[in-house]
Chains A and B, each alone.
Chain A
Amino acid sequence: AQKVTQAQTEISVVEKEDVTLDCVYETRDTTYYLFWYKQPPSGELVFLIRRNSFDEQNEISGRYSWNFQKSTSSFNFTITASQVVDSAVYFCALSSDNYGQNFVFGPGTRLSVLP
């Protein structure tokens, strides 16, 4: 069975601090896909990144970066120089399909960035 664990329920940081959100997954599939979604206070789910199991290169997009480590089944997300607008719930998700036809979501991490 597939499972996603986000051990950090809530994190609070002060603006401009760096913060890392942890994600650990379990799957028996050799091919799988990992995702991060952001849920701001307005409630919608916003896609951030997709990574397939064959691509372990880390990725950076502006202040966001992702560290995929197959050896530890982790796909961690770092926000550099956090801003108040980063306050949201962040979900890590796992899918055996390329574009998330069948997500298993983690429980989410609520990030509060204080001014």
Chain B
Amino acid sequence: DAGVIQSPRHEVTEMGQEVTLRCKPISGHDYLFWYRQTMMRGLELLIYFNNNVPIDDSGMPEDRFSAKMPNASFSTLKIQPSEPRDSAVYFCASTGSRTEAFFGQGTRLTVV
């Protein structure tokens, strides 16, 4: 398996624009997580899904953030409108019932 795949690896966008980050989890994993990493706050859990259903979105910072998982092999994290303080590395991770969490390589988002 290729592991958790995130795209794009880097994204630079202007303030106010919509940004969509994508994630393909490892096949067979039934949990999917979105994390954000910043220097100030470290690694924070934003939201996680189990069997495509959002379980806990208490970490989503604002209504500007939304996440979907339309099927077992794809998830998106959308920020609309984006702001400079959203600049961070966003990680997607997946895990199954008997495996540890595997992380993607992350998407480095810069909002100017």
Contacts and interface: CB of A to CB of B under 8 A. Distances in A.
Given A99-B95, A101-B95, A47 B100 contact: yes
B57 interface: no
Interface string B20-35: 0000000000010100
Interface in B77-112: 89, 91, 93, 95-106, 108
B100 A44 contact: no
Interface stretch (B11-19, B42-50, B62-70): B42-50
Given A44-B105, A45-B91, A99-B95, A105 B100 contact: no
Interface in A97-115: 99-103, 105-108
B42 A100 contact: no
Tell me whether chain A's interface is mostly helix, strand or loop, or mixed: loop
B42 A107 contact: yes
Contacts of A101: 31, 33, 48, 50, 95, 101
Interface residues of B, number: 24
Contact of A43 (B31, B100, B101, B106): B106
Given A43-B89, A45-B91, A103 B42 contact: no
Contacts of A57: none
Interface residues of A, number: 19
Contact of B97 (A99, A103, A105, A108): A99
Given A43-B89, A43-B105, A45-B91, A103 B100 contact: no
Given A43-B89, A44-B106, A99 B45 contact: no
Interface of B: 31, 33, 42-43, 45, 48, 50, 56, 89, 91, 93, 95-106, 108
Interface of A: 35, 37, 42-47, 50, 91, 99-103, 105-108
14 contacts: A37-B103, A43-B89, A43-B105, A43-B106, A47-B100, A47-B101, A50-B100, A99-B97, A99-B98, A100-B100, A101-B95, A101-B101, A106-B42, A107-B42
